[in-house]
Chain A
């Protein structure tokens, strides 16, 4: 039974309007795009205000004066809209980037190097393990731009190795492309499910 809920009809309208963008640019799609942009921005403001209030303002009201520092830094971010005081906004930006970089970099070596290299040292007692280790090493040679063999005898074999590395990576990228298609299919199927089951009542 087709839905009589006006909100379901609005949701269906927006779904179809955005989908129509794939076929052709049209006023409905443009209307939906603008609505999306506005709603996203409004949602961001709402969530940001919640955080500022609960983590910054409320502790400040309860006497935690150190909260004044990040609150002032946060307000200082908006000086970027002033040509005269734009330099003030660099301090909170630098602080934000510094904290983010520090938090990411500290565990990075252990996370992306040590653990990965340890796991690459597999026992060479099966085809899969040998292939695995060989693939990692060969693909890594593709990224070595600065080590050009001086001896002509080595240059040609190295070029074959880097070419093989390229082929191995293209296999991985092909699988990656397929995975991207599968993701988008799964995501869009959710919208089709909504249109069929919730809007048209066919499920």
Chain B
């Protein structure tokens, strides 16, 4: 016979979704308006990337694949900024390029925030850094970039022929890349396959947390040297390079939102378990 208590357990499993959504939004607004600035633990994957960046020399060339879309800009952009900052600090040359259609415009948005770093370091476009633009073909394009970059690009994003760009005169193929890093939410394994497995190029990945489980085995085996784990990884990198930014602000959101989702999970299960017990 249904009792009042049974109703409570059933109600606990049927909270209107609008309330759940509203609470989630509030859990994001509060920490963004009142940051807490809690300590961030550095993971071995991020530490590994940072240590690898610290081996860069001024003559080294690093390829940065700006492959994030607007959806993951909240963590990929700060991750790219933090990594590029460390590379610039080491004096390395940077070749930015994209194999994702939103990449070029994402690069432009990133550059708006990063141009001051280039200016402070007296980095000149064409000599110290360059952006080549977008190339179609996904893994085929990555394979082409690894074997001969001129099969994928004949000019930079702004139309200047590669042969007229001083930096690109000494960048031809895998032998000229000291390391590559890919900021992507789609198929990070293809970068490892085409650069590290094929040619032994040091490969780093910055992917979303949801892709990390499939990528961790490759980091564990050493095929990926450095791995940034989504927003958490980007925040760790910002802390390591001593330049806290948007990613560090995001970690406060995780404090609230993660706990709220945990509470929803527990409430739903408590209601289910108690209802099942009453029914036994």
Contact = CB atoms under 8 A, between A and B. Distances in A.
Given A116-B217, A183-B209, A192-B28, A55 B74 contact: no
B261 A104 contact: no
A175 B151 CA distance: 41
A23 B18 contact: yes
Contacts of B32: 189, 192-193, 196-197, 203
A189 B255 CA distance: 12
Interface in A94-127: 99-100, 103-104, 106-108, 110-112, 115-116, 118-119
Interface string A47-78: 11011001100110000000000000000000
Contacts, number: 141
A99 B17 CA distance: 47
A7 B203 CA distance: 38
B230 to A, nearest CB: 6
A50 B155 CA distance: 11
B103 to A, nearest CB: 9
B18 A179 contact: no
B104 A118 contact: no
B213 A172 contact: yes
Given A186-B231, A193-B249, A54 B155 contact: yes
Interface in A172-203: 172, 175-176, 179-193, 196-197, 202-203
Given A103-B139, A186-B75, A192-B32, A180 B209 contact: yes
B194 A23 contact: no
Contacts of A43: 101-102
A6 B117 CA distance: 29
- Chain B, interface size category, equals 35 or more
Number of contact residues on A: which range applies?
A: 35 or more
Given A54-B153, A182-B230, A192 B29 contact: yes
B254 interface: yes
B230 A107 contact: no
24 contacts: A23-B18, A43-B101, A43-B102, A47-B136, A48-B136, A51-B134, A51-B136, A54-B154, A58-B154, A99-B140, A110-B197, A111-B189, A115-B197, A172-B213, A176-B213, A179-B213, A179-B230, A181-B261, A186-B74, A189-B231, A190-B74, A192-B29, A192-B253, A203-B33
Interface of B: 17-18, 21, 25, 28-29, 32-33, 71-75, 101-102, 104, 133-136, 138-140, 143, 151-155, 189-190, 192-194, 197-198, 208-210, 212-213, 217-218, 220-223, 230-232, 246, 249-250, 253-254, 257-258, 261
A-B pairs with the 6 shortest C-beta distances? A190-B74, A186-B231, A119-B221, A179-B209, A180-B210, A183-B208
Interface of A: 22-23, 43-44, 47-48, 50-51, 54-55, 58-59, 99-100, 103-104, 106-108, 110-112, 115-116, 118-119, 172, 175-176, 179-193, 196-197, 202-203
